Chains A and B, each alone.
Chain A
Amino acid sequence: MSTAALTHAPDDNAHDDHHHDPGFWQKWVFSTDHKMIGIQYGTTGLAFLMFGFMLMMVMRWQLAHPGEAVPYIGGLLQAIFGSSAFQPDAKGIPGVLTADGYNSFGAMHGTIMVFFGIVPVAFAAFGNFVVPLQIGAIDMTFPRINMASFWCFFISCIFMCVSFFVPGGAAKSGWTSYPPLSGIADSGALNHFFMNGQTLWVTGMVFNITASLLGSVNFIATIIQLRAPGMTWMRLPFFVWAQFVTAFLLLLAFPPLEAAGVMQLMDRAFGTSFFMPTGLIVNGAATHWSGGGSPILWQHLFWFLAHPEVYVLILPGIGMVAEIIACNTRKPLYGYKAMVGAIFVLGFLSFIVWAHHMYMTGMGAKVSGFFQVTTVMISVPSVILVTALMLSLWGGSIRFTMPMLFATAFLPMFGIGGLTGIPLAFNAVDLYLHDTYYVIGHFHYVVAPGTIFAIFAGVYHWYPKATGRMLNEFLGRLHFWGSLIFINGIFFPMFLQGMAGVHRRWFDGGVTYEQIIKPVIHWNNFMSVSAFLLGAAQIPFIINFCWSIWNGRKASDNPWDATTVEWDTPTPPPHGNFTKEITVHRGPYEYSVPGADKDFTPQTEAPKSDKAHLAAPLVAAPAH
């Protein structure tokens, strides 16, 4: 592995690698370059985040104005999504979201945001783009598997999009897809056995899971095998650690859901009853399943993935925030080693907390007790991470650049999300709060102003490296302040509503139960207005993102004066990444080192003193 893209090892003439310019398709579409795949994942994921958010805005209109047609675009929505999702109102104005349509939008909002928005952006996009650069690798270990991962993901995206346009509309059994509801939905003689919302959902998920398995094998292998000489484990930037643990979570937690997905597919397409109980009566008629299955089995398999998935959503975010905080406070991370330890403990514990989502199933006091204890335990490493990040701010000369604004806002927002989760860990409290807006508020604080803010921070931080241009500062600030204010306007009232007992599945905003929830129902309007304004606050970002690709201020190779290796490449990095041999000589966060000539010392900078041999790479990994 000498200079970028130049050597041609003798043992590999299986595929011709003579360095000719790849054609359009190979460069932009079927690329095996980790940076291009990262960008593909990122743009697809951001588009899905936008789409999922739009679904939610339609739902929020319905919650604030139940039974009223969506203004301005109601007719268009009805034309696009069909009569199962939208109906004309009493006066014949088209565009009233139906109950089925609401369920469908809700289920798809959750699915899209989690599996098609945040994971592809936070894990796949940033991981692909940044991790090989940060460890000084020329690419991922398995570039073709990397490409297969993206295209597998792309197929799953097609399945999800198509599912909106089949008779009956997209999946409507929640993103959790609980049976027997998900077994019954759109099944039976009147529906196509495959081209229906729920079956397409399950098939799409199987592809999505396969994509993330391919990706996670690649990430782990890359981090273990392709670290540059001198890049020892404890010199890895924290973001790499976060991605490493996340990849393990995906690798080991996703397969049981794949198994469950295959089983649900069998239930729906071949009439088995893995999840269908005996003697199920629907609409007064016995169903066609043989019975003997267990709906609880699905819940176990689902949450065995979906709880680690929560950490899949948040850990890359924490990793990005750690990078950005260290860079913008101009001082090392506080407690780097403790953070690395905490993230491993967190990763391990996340596998044994899943059934706290299932207190309501009546598992029994002993089982609930076990999961209550592990759930409370997992807050310890989480608090270590957030506390270390908070303490990293202490005594720093903070530069409030765009990434830093989002990273700073991340801390209290994620803090609210985490702290409001603690009551839910307790069995007795959860029985009351289960399935209320309190839960929605809790996990949205974790993933929306938490992870999505971290994603924005990451976009502002690494955009110059990817495109060679800076994002516009003014538009960025507009985006930040709008997002921060309105996102709280949406999610904070949810705690109030939830504690008053507003159920998360009411499609009419609680009008039917108005007598019970009278003191809090008026918040619906406030939250919905906040949601629309939050949508408006994204417009500067979209403009900024597209406009700056060609018109932004030109970025230097290291615009943030950062220490990690990804800034030691040309901007944007060429195929093969580095123009020189990378050897790492020091830890990731050598900012403001006393006695150094500048306030940051890149990891690749060789020590000047005569004590050079002490700082020399501990493990030299030769090219072959």
Chain B
Amino acid sequence: MQIPHEVTARPDTGLYNAKLGIWLFLASEVMLFGGLFSAYIFLRMGAEDGYWPHGLLNVPVGAGNTAILIASSVTVVLAWASLKMRKFSQYKLWMGISILCGALFLIVKLAYEWPQKFEHFGAFIKKDAIEHYEKYLGNHHLKEKGLPPRVEISGHLHEVEIAADPAEKEKLEVFLKQHDLEAKPDEHDAKLQIVCSEKKDKDGKREGIRPGVAEDLEKVPGVKLIAFELGLDPINAAPDNPESDKPHFLYKGPTETPGKIERKDVEFYSSFAPKHSSYFAVYFTITGLHGLHVLAGVLIMLYFWLPIEGGANMFKRNPEHLANRVEVVGLFWHFVDLVWIFVFPIFYLL
């Protein structure tokens, strides 16, 4: 049984089935991402002053990824054109490049951009305590300039100070051992100062404690967090510096300038994970869903590139059918590219 118009177009519609199918699918995808982008707009409009961060993402890296995706959109068209001209080796080359571009995009995302966020610490200060942290926040300076205030202190979490109930000491010790943390007792018996040493570089220098571990530490029975000590982000290290008023084009990581925040003054803290704020929630959801689309595109293109049935081997048997398949995945790939063209400015630039 053969479904009509699988390869050749139906005369009155001018389309073969899969081409119509992919356009319909893309229409629904527009609505899917449209829903997410409208959530972005809704949340951003509703965010209180200071709760929508700027300049946390690395613009050159994002711009590079944008260029990679656009380039791959061009090469996928060239791959399709090569098939139409029945030039198989050219097809293999252009399709191969498209696949590599897609893979490179994912590697940058997964190996560099995303993991960095989970190491970064941020704490929102309670409204009544904001004055105490003026030296990190610089709100007087911002007010003079008519800029929205800052409410968050962020950076690299170096140490966590805790008070531990001696009766529950064993559970704490188990936790510390599990997470390879070093505990430095304070003078007072009841108080333990934990200095993290999760990772050490070659010189034995401590790299800090991951915010997620600090959250888990707080859940250990008998443990009470007292304060966070961190290497501040440039914006909090020199809050009055006019250079910090606007996000930098080149991303600058945390400095070594020390800062200390009392736990009691903190409204909410975490790494730059999805739960950190509306910004990261929508950032991870959209880039995550987009990443899944990129992954799907790469896998499908790989399927059409590999010498297998239904893939590149189809060239000998029915080159037109293979060209159609590449055209359809190409349309999908352009859409994925287009979504990123919206993602890049709204998260990296605006």
Binding site for B on A (CB under 8 A): 1, 4-9, 11-14, 17, 19, 138-139, 141-143, 145, 213, 216-218, 220-221, 224-226, 251-260, 262-263, 266, 270-274, 278, 289-294, 297, 300-301, 304, 575-576, 619, 621-624
Across the A-B interface, the 10 shortest Cβ-Cβ residue pairs = A259-B35, A256-B35, A271-B275, A272-B281, A255-B32, A255-B31, A292-B278, A9-B2, A5-B1, A11-B318
B31 pairs with A256, CB closer than 8 A = yes
Beyond A217-B24, A262-B285, A274-B39, is A224–B275 a contact (Cβ under 8 Å)? no
In Å, the complex CA distance between A7 and B268 comes to: 67
CB distance from A412 to the nearest CB of B (A): 36
Cβ-based interface call for B321 (8 A): yes
Contact of B27 among A13, A14, A251 (CB under 8 A): A251
Residue of B nearest to A19 (CB): B1
28 contacts between A and B (CB under 8 A): A4-B1, A11-B320, A12-B321, A138-B3, A141-B3, A141-B17, A141-B21, A145-B21, A213-B28, A216-B28, A218-B21, A224-B13, A224-B15, A226-B3, A251-B31, A252-B28, A255-B28, A263-B281, A273-B281, A274-B282, A274-B285, A290-B268, A290-B270, A293-B43, A293-B278, A297-B43, A301-B35, A624-B7
Which residue, of B4, B10, B27, B273, has the highest number of chain A Cβ atoms within 10 A?
B4
In Å, the complex CA distance between A256 and B36 comes to: 7
Task: Return chain A residues, CB-CB under 8 Å to B25.
Answer: 213, 217
Task: Return chain A residues, CB-CB under 8 Å to B143.
Answer: none
Task: Return chain B residues, CB-CB under 8 Å to A251.
Answer: 24, 27-28, 31
Cβ-based interface call for B149 (8 A): no
B309 pairs with A14, CB closer than 8 A = yes
Cβ-based interface call for B110 (8 A): no
Stretch from B45-53, B132-140, B334-342 contacting the other chain: B45-53
**Extra pairs beyond A11-B320, A217-B28 (19, CB < 8 Å):** A11-B6, A11-B7, A12-B2, A12-B321, A13-B317, A138-B4, A141-B21, A255-B35, A257-B35, A258-B35, A259-B32, A266-B284, A271-B275, A274-B278, A291-B268, A292-B51, A300-B38, A575-B1, A624-B7
Beyond A259-B36, A292-B278, is A221–B24 a contact (Cβ under 8 Å)? yes
Task: Return chain A residues, CB-CB under 8 Å to B29.
Answer: 255
B2 pairs with A14, CB closer than 8 A = no
A263 pairs with B39, CB closer than 8 A = yes
B48 pairs with A221, CB closer than 8 A = no
A623 pairs with B39, CB closer than 8 A = no
Task: Return chain A residues, CB-CB under 8 Å to B13.
Answer: 224-225
In Å, the complex CA distance between A155 and B314 comes to: 33
CB distance from A354 to the nearest CB of B (A): 13
In Å, the complex CA distance between A252 and B32 comes to: 8
In Å, the complex CA distance between A304 and B309 comes to: 42
B1 pairs with A301, CB closer than 8 A = no
CB distance from A116 to the nearest CB of B (A): 21
A271 pairs with B277, CB closer than 8 A = no
In Å, the complex CA distance between A217 and B11 comes to: 20
B20 pairs with A224, CB closer than 8 A = yes
Question: Restricting to B83-128, which residues have a CB under 8 Å from any CB of A?
Answer: 124
In Å, the complex CA distance between A143 and B6 comes to: 12
Cβ-based interface call for B310 (8 A): yes
B32 pairs with A256, CB closer than 8 A = yes
In Å, the complex CA distance between A255 and B33 comes to: 8
B310 pairs with A143, CB closer than 8 A = no
A256 pairs with B20, CB closer than 8 A = no
A142 pairs with B314, CB closer than 8 A = no
A290 pairs with B2, CB closer than 8 A = no
A621 pairs with B28, CB closer than 8 A = no
B24 pairs with A220, CB closer than 8 A = yes
In Å, the complex CA distance between A252 and B28 comes to: 5
Task: Return chain B residues, CB-CB under 8 Å to A263.
Answer: 36, 39, 281, 285
A139 pairs with B1, CB closer than 8 A = yes
Cβ-based interface call for B8 (8 A): yes
Task: Return chain B residues, CB-CB under 8 Å to A19.
Answer: 1
B20 pairs with A225, CB closer than 8 A = yes
Task: Return chain A residues, CB-CB under 8 Å to B27.
Answer: 251-252
A138 pairs with B1, CB closer than 8 A = yes
Task: Return chain B residues, CB-CB under 8 Å to A262.
Answer: 36, 285, 289
Cβ-based interface call for B5 (8 A): yes
B31 pairs with A12, CB closer than 8 A = no
Cβ-based interface call for B12 (8 A): yes
Task: Return chain A residues, CB-CB under 8 Å to B28.
Answer: 213, 216-217, 251-252, 254-255
In Å, the complex CA distance between A255 and B28 comes to: 6
Task: Return chain B residues, CB-CB under 8 Å to A304.
Answer: 35
Cβ-based interface call for B274 (8 A): yes
CB distance from A577 to the nearest CB of B (A): 9
B5 pairs with A226, CB closer than 8 A = yes
In Å, the complex CA distance between A294 and B274 comes to: 16
B124 pairs with A290, CB closer than 8 A = yes
A1 pairs with B4, CB closer than 8 A = yes
Contact mask for chain B residues 314-339; partner A; CB cutoff 8 A; 1 contact, 0 none: 10011011000000000000000000
CB distance from B309 to the nearest CB of A (A): 6
Residue of B nearest to A274 (CB): B281
Task: Return chain B residues, CB-CB under 8 Å to A17.
Answer: 1-2
Task: Return chain A residues, CB-CB under 8 Å to B17.
Answer: 141-142, 221, 225
Task: Return chain A residues, CB-CB under 8 Å to B278.
Answer: 272-274, 290, 292-293
CB distance from A240 to the nearest CB of B (A): 16
Task: Return chain B residues, CB-CB under 8 Å to A4.
Answer: 1
A619 pairs with B12, CB closer than 8 A = yes
A266 pairs with B11, CB closer than 8 A = no
B314 pairs with A14, CB closer than 8 A = yes
Task: Return chain A residues, CB-CB under 8 Å to B51.
Answer: 292
A225 pairs with B4, CB closer than 8 A = yes
In Å, the complex CA distance between A290 and B29 comes to: 29
Task: Return chain B residues, CB-CB under 8 Å to A293.
Answer: 43, 278, 281
Question: Restricting to B143-200, which residues have a CB under 8 Å from any CB of A?
Answer: none
A278 pairs with B48, CB closer than 8 A = yes
B275 pairs with A270, CB closer than 8 A = yes
Beyond A9-B2, A621-B11, is A290–B35 a contact (Cβ under 8 Å)? no
Cβ-based interface call for B276 (8 A): yes
CB distance from B246 to the nearest CB of A (A): 23
In Å, the complex CA distance between A12 and B270 comes to: 55
Contact of A290 among B21, B36, B275 (CB under 8 A): B275
A297 pairs with B39, CB closer than 8 A = yes
Task: Return chain A residues, CB-CB under 8 Å to B4.
Answer: 1, 138, 225-226, 621, 623-624
Task: Return chain A residues, CB-CB under 8 Å to B5.
Answer: 141, 225-226, 621, 624
CB distance from A153 to the nearest CB of B (A): 16
B12 pairs with A621, CB closer than 8 A = yes
Cβ-based interface call for B64 (8 A): no
Residue of B nearest to A621 (CB): B10
Question: Restricting to B188-215, which residues have a CB under 8 Å from any CB of A?
Answer: none
Which residue, of B31, B33, B310, has the highest number of chain A Cβ atoms within 10 A?
B31
CB distance from A138 to the nearest CB of B (A): 6
Task: Return chain B residues, CB-CB under 8 Å to A221.
Answer: 17, 20-21, 24
Residue of A nearest to B25 (CB): A217
In Å, the complex CA distance between A254 and B31 comes to: 8
In Å, the complex CA distance between A320 and B13 comes to: 27
Residue of B nearest to A272 (CB): B281
Contact of A259 among B2, B39, B276, B309 (CB under 8 A): B39
Task: Return chain A residues, CB-CB under 8 Å to B8.
Answer: 624
CB distance from B222 to the nearest CB of A (A): 16
Question: Restricting to B208-237, which residues have a CB under 8 Å from any CB of A?
Answer: none
Contact of A272 among B11, B21, B275 (CB under 8 A): B275
